[in-house]
Amino acid sequence: MKLVIVSWLAGLLGFGLLVGGVAMISSPVACIVAGVGLMAWAFLADRAAAVLKTKPKPQGG
């Protein structure tokens, strides 16, 4: 569980630093990078949710 939280926080920090660095160059480009990154995150989260939903649950027990 700790690894999941740490990896999520590392990804969030990395995304924030990427957008912040791009914002130092150009604000509109930073908005584009942020939008693309969030769309990619949503796509991956949707795929992960679909895998969890289709995974059969063990019976009995």
Residue-wise pLDDT tens digits, 10-55: 888 999 999 999 999 999 999 999 999 999 988 888 888 888 778 7
CA angle 32, 29, 45 (to 5 degrees): 30
Question: 14 in a domain, yes or no?
Answer: yes
Q: What is the pLDDT of residue 61?
A: 59
**Residue 29 contacts by C-beta under 8 Å, 6 or more apart in sequence?**
22
- Given a cut of 90, whether residue 58 has pLDDT beyond it is no
| Encoded amino acid at 15, one letter | F
Q: Is residue 60 part of a domain?
A: no
Look up the pTM and report it. 0.72
Domain containing 8: what range? 2-45
Domains: count for the chain: 1
| Residue 29 belongs to some domain of the structure | yes
Chain centre to alpha carbon of residue 14? 10
Using alpha carbons, select from 5, 30, 28 the residue that is nearest to residue 15: 30
